[in-house]
Amino acid sequence: MFADLIPVISSNFVNPDTIFANNEISLQDIEIYGFDYDYTLAFYSSHLHTLIFNIARDILIEEHRYPEGLREYEYIPDFVIRGLHYDVQKALLMKIDAFHYIQLGTVYRGLHPVTDKEVIAMYEGSHVPLEIMSDFYGKSSHGHTMKQFMDIFSLPEMTLLCCVNDYFMKHNIDYEPVHLYKDVKEAIGDVHVKGIMYRAVEADIEKYICYGEQTQAVLRKLAENGKKMFLITNSPFDFVDRGMKYIVGRDWRDLFDVVIVQADKPGFFNDRRKPFRRLTDQGVLLWDRIHRLEKGQIYKQGNLYEFLRLTGWRGSSVLYFGDHIYSDLADLTLKHGWRTGAIIPELRKEIKIMNTEESRTKDIFNSQFGSLFRTYHNPTYFSRRLSRFADIYMASLSCLLRYDLQHTFFPRRTPLQHESPLWPEQASAGAANTPLKAEAAGVTSSE
């Protein structure tokens, strides 16, 4: 019954709906599947980024007394990519590779690039020291001056930062970059915390939510194969309920063994102090002590340690999917031994570009910052984190429809640098005396 819902692929090289493995994992060992909600079960249209940008921009003007002229700025689709770093004190947005080097040509102040010469002068080279990089969760705190933007909701935030910086520079307004960053961060937060975004999406759900049919097919496939499922999300219940009824149907709660809302991830995975509270269908919080997590009930807050105690779901039999590498996946894989799956919607577009001859140029991916996954020669900082915290990654949950639940995913075996007998540097004229040069010269590669 699921065959008709499998995405149609036309690709010459890499299938965009493949599930890619960083670490070997067999679905035969997985008995429990967990999910985030936003950008995991629910996929949003590009209209949502415009909505968030416009609301946050207006909050800056109306509540933080920013210049009225900022209303002239509109959301710029595809101006930024996920995984970028923002230097809070210098007001610079940039792409950094896995070894903490800035990719020159991808540093922006406002809406305009900064010359390589100026970047090198500011940082005394292109390397960013560890002590000013973002902390474990990508935040600029505890002395760190870099903020890494890792989730998809951060795209309008980065764009708004660039637009406000651009306005101040264009009008020769003296400003403190740290204050600007904090004000934009607060305005973006208010869009979520005050429920403005949630109400807008609920009022016009067909405009903002997509991919519903394939998500439903994945969940029903897992249920029909006897798998247990749970949901842990930071979003409020009314918002999730409205979306899941649209995506899956009114019976969506019957598919899940445990549903937890407003979990406050990543704190949920580390803070033992918050107990679970049961939430009624009318949104009333109950005060009774939670002795077990029951199917069909809704729970708020809580913590992972209590979750593990009440469910007994531990270790490698659990596979959890989320889009935020830090907030959703890092603690689960490092501290609790769960298997993890990263949802990377950008992956499908990048693969389709890779399958074209034009993929060798940065501009074809993104005119300002290039590929999400690679700098000129190295993986991006985002890629390195992805490979560390996600056992598997894919463009969307619908990719699971291509595999049976006995499938084993293997990472591609690539040789370490010292395991390969010949590499480009050895083949150059200047490497004539390199060890193994003579032996390698007579080797014909069959790979």
Query: Catalytic residue numbers?
Result: 36, 38
Give 204-243 as a DSSP string.
THHHHEE-HHHHHHHHHHHHHTT-EEEEE-SS-HHHHHHH
Which residues are annotated as part of the binding site for Mg(2+)?
Answer: 36, 323
Cis check for the bond before 16: say yes or no (omega within 30 of 0): no
Neighbours of 429 (CB within 10 A): 5
The Cα–Cα gap between 247 and 43 comes to 10
Token duo for residue 429: 């004229």
Q: How many residues does the chain have?
A: 447
Q: Between the CA atoms of 197, 199, 205 and 207, what dihedral angle is there, to the nearest 10 degrees?
A: -50
Look up residue 203 and give its amino acid: A
The Cα–Cα gap between 79 and 67 comes to 23
Which residues are annotated as part of the binding site for GMP?
Answer: 38
The Cα–Cα gap between 74 and 327 comes to 29
The Cα–Cα gap between 48 and 210 comes to 11
Token duo for residue 271: 């803070």
DSSP structural state of residue 326:
I
DSSP structural state of residue 406:
T
The kind and range of the H/E element at 108 are strand 108-109
Token duo for residue 66: 């920013």
Cis check for the bond before 266: say yes or no (omega within 30 of 0): yes
On the CB side of 93, CA atoms within 13 Å amount to 28
